[in-house]
Structure 1
C-alpha cells in the first residue's frame, strides 16, 4: 500500500475515533471530502482506502464522486444552450454542471438511514430501504456522458460508518465579485511578454457565472463534510502530463482516446478554476470561518503534497 494511502487511512481512523465520541458525529456517517486535481489518482486511492478501512479497521465505508451527480445529457444540452457564449459550460465538469440538489438530498438520505439504524427507531427493527446513488457513464453520446439507468445505481444500506466523497474542485470557494474582477483586471495589465493566466481567455462575465455557481456547492454540500483531504502538487501544470499518460494508455489498449492537442484543450477548460480558487484552498483550512471556533475545526483538514509520480512528498494537518 502506498504511503499516500497510509496517511489518508490513519487520518480518517483517528478522526473517526475522536469525533465519534461526540453525539453529533456518533449518530451519522463520517463524511470525508477528498479533493485533488485530475489525474492525481483519486479513484484508485479512494478504492484502496474503502477496502482497507473494512479489512483492517472494521469500518463500513462507501464512496461516490461529484462526477456521479453531473446532470443528465438532456440537461447538459439545455445548460449549453442557456450559456451559448460561455465555453466553460459547453461541456460537463465545472461548477454549474452538477445536480447539486440531488447530491444534497442523497447525503441527507444517507445520514437519515444511518441515524435510524443507530437509534433503532420503532418498537421492531424494520429492514431499511436502500439509498440509491447515481452512476455516470462518461462514454455516452460520444464522450459527452450521461447518467446510467437507475437499475445500475449504487444501492447503499446501513450501517454506514464513513462516506468518501471526491471531486477535482471540491473545497474551492467563490471569491467576492469585486475581488475576482480585480484579479482579472490586474492580469490584463501585466506587461507584454509576461506569462498571463488562462482565465484571461474567457470573458469576465463568464468567470463570474462559474464563481456564482460555486456558491450552491458551498451552501448545499460543504456543510455535510466532517473532515477534508486535499491532494496537492507543487506544479499544477503536471495535470497535462498525467492526462496525456492516461490517454496514451487507453489508446495502447485499443480504446478511443484524445489526441495530444485535444488533451491540452481539454485541460485548458479547467485551468481557470485552478488559477482562481486553488490558492485560497492551499492557504486556509477547508473549515475556516463558517462560524466555527478554532478548537472545533482544528485537525480536520489534511493536505498531502505529491510529486509528478503521484508519490507522497509531505503532509500537514490544519
Structure 2
C-alpha cells in the first residue's frame, strides 16, 4: 500500500508531459484515502475541488470519483456548490432586495447559495451514522422556470444511506477568501474598474462590499476541507474563451443558444469575483494539503505543485 510516501523532495513544481488533471489528482489523493481506510478512521475525507468556469472541473471531479472507485473499494459522495443554489422564490427575493446590483441578478455568485443548508449536509455526512439516518442531498434543475432554475422537491433529492469514506465537493469559487479591510477592497476594486470601465462602470463600491460580506460566510465550508485540488490558469480571462466554446458546442448540439456578445455579457457578471479573489487562492492552499494544477488556454496540464502541511 502506498499511503503517504511523498518525500519532501517530491513536493515541488513539475513540468507535465502526458499526465492529465485527473491522473495527477488521483496520484495526490489516493494515498490519503488508502491511509484513512487502513486506519479505519470513521470521519470521511473531504476534498474541495476548485476550477474556473469552463476549465473542466466538473468533468474532472466525476472522473476522479470513477477512477478512485476503480482503484479502491470505498463509498464516495460527490456534489457541487451548484446543488445549493437558492430556490427560485428565494432568488427572486434576493433580486428584489438588490435591484440595482447586477451582480446578484441571477444565480452563481457568492450570496446566491443556501450556505446554512450546505453546512448542515456536510455535518450530517461527517457526523451521523448513516446506517440509521440517511442523508438527503438537494438537486437543482437549471432548466426550470425558463432557465432561471429551481431546487427540486425533497422527494427527488439524492439519498446517502451508508457511511461515507470520501466527499468530493466542487465549485468555481471554492477556496476564495474575502478581503479583510474595506479600504483594501475598495482600492483593489477601483483599480479593476479603471481597467474595465465599460464592463464595470455601473458596479458601485457597495455592490462589491455586499459580495465580499457574502463570501465571508462560505469560508466556514473551506475549513472543512481535508484536501484541496486547485485547477488554475495563468490568465483568468480564459474563462471567456472556455464559456464561448461551451456555447458553440451547445448550439451545434441543440441548434440554438446565446450569441457571442450574450456570452461575453453573461461572463462579465462573474469577472469581478475572479479579478478580486482569484489571486488569493494561495491563502487557502497554505492551510490545507493541496494540489495545484496549472492548465493552459487549451486546458492542457502544464505544471503541478504539491503544497503539503
- Which category describes the TM-score, using the shorter chain as reference length? 0.7 to 0.9
**C-alpha separation between the residues in 2 aligned to 1:87 and 1:33?**
28
CA distance in 2, matches of 1:78, 1:279: 32
Matched, 1:267 2:252: no
Match of 1:54 in 2: 69
Deviation string 1:194-218 (CA, Å, 9 cap, x unpaired) is 6669555410110000000011111
Q: Which runs of 5+ in 1 are unaligned?
A: 118-126, 289-296
Following superposition of structure 1 onto structure 2, how do residues 15-26 of structure 1 map, counting pairs within 5 Å? 15-18=32-35, 26=41
Q: What is the Cα deviation at residue 77 of structure 1?
A: 0.1
1:286 aligns with 2:294: no
Cα RMSD (Å) = 2.2
- TM-score, length basis structure 1: 0.85
Asked if the contact 2:54/2:243 (under 8 Å) is kept, the reply is: yes
Distance 1:103 1:195, change over 3 A: closer
Quick one: which of 106, 110, 115 aligns to 1:95?
110
Q: What residue in structure 1 maps to residue 119 of structure 2?
A: 104
Q: Is the 8 A contact 1:31 1:162 kept in 2?
A: yes
Deviations 1:212-259 (A, max 9, x none): 00111113x122111111101111111111111111111111254211
| Structure 2 residue ranges without an equivalent (≥5) | 1-17
User: Is 2:143 the partner of 1:139?
Assistant: yes
1:60 Cα deviation after fit: 1.9
Alignment of structure 1 residues 173-212 onto 2, 5 Å: 173-176=177-180, 177-187=182-192, 199=200, 201-212=202-213
Q: Evaluate the alpha carbon distance shift between residue 307 and residue 150 of structure 1 in structure 2; reply closer, same or farther with a 3 A threshold.
A: same
Inter-partner Cα distance in structure 2 for 1:234 and 1:252: 29
Change (3 A) 1:56 1:18: closer
State how far apart, in whole Å, the 1-side matches of 2:36 and 2:212 are.
33
Q: Give 1:284 deviation, angstroms.
A: 3.5
Q: Residue 153 of structure 2: which of 142, 145, 149 is its match?
A: 149
Deviation at 1:273, TM superposition (A): 0.4
Secondary structure, aligned partner of 2:223? helix
- Give the direction of change, closer, same or farther, for the CA distance of 1:278–1:19 in structure 2 (3 Å limit): farther
- Distance in 1 (CA, whole Å) between partners of 2:256 and 2:161 is 36
> 1:310 aligned to 2:299?
yes
CA distance in 2, matches of 1:217, 1:69: 12
Cα pair 1:197 1:275 within 8 Å, conserved:
no
DSSP 3-state at the match of 2:251? helix
Q: Is the 8 A contact 1:187 1:197 kept in 2?
A: no
- Mean CA deviation greater in 43-52 or 76-85: 43-52
CA drift at 1:57: 1.7
SS at match of 2:78: strand
Deviation at 1:181, TM superposition (A): 1.5
TM-aligned CA deviation for residue 68 of structure 1: 0.2
Distance 1:157 1:10 in 2: 29
Hey, what does 2:176 align to over in structure 1?
172
Instruction: Please say if residues 85 and 140 of structure 2, whose CA atoms lie closer than 8 Å, have aligned partners that are also in contact.
Output: yes
